Amino acid sequence: MSTADEIKKLNELLRDKIISQEEFDLQKEKLLNSSSPGSDSQWVVTLLLAFLLGVIGAHRFYVGKTGTGILMLLTFGGIGIWLLIDLILIVTGQFTNKDGEKIARI
């Protein structure tokens, strides 16, 4: 479903008084921020960092996950297994940043 369709759905919920104006504004802002033009470039950078420097956790530092980035650095990407899992998650659009937002290709 496109962002425009989701906003239309939110408008209907607001009109039918299922959600409040505050909830509408919050959800709309979240939708608009998640589809920002930088999202696709963030996905590309994350993928390249994981592919080229994944064993030292560079992609995790990039998205703000410093704790697990340090663990990847110390374990050489979980001896490659953790890195492989991260690469699969990034390619399929399931990898998240420190705020839990998916780094998905648009």
Q: Which of 3, 10, 36, 15 is nearest to 25 (CA)?
A: 10
Say if residue 28 is in the same domain as residue 53.
Answer: no
Say if residue 42 is in the same domain as residue 86.
Answer: yes
Say if residue 72 is in the same domain as residue 59.
Answer: yes
- Domain for residue 53, yes or no? yes
Please state the domain count of the chain: 2
Domain that holds residue 19: 3-34
Neighbours of 83 (CB within 10 A): 23
pTM: 0.63
Digit-by-digit pLDDT tens for the chain (106 residues) are 567 778 888 888 889 888 899 988 888 888 777 654 445 678 999 999 999 999 999 999 999 999 999 999 999 999 999 999 999 999 998 999 998 888 877 6
Provide Rg for the chain, Cα atoms: 17
d(CA 58, CA 10): 37
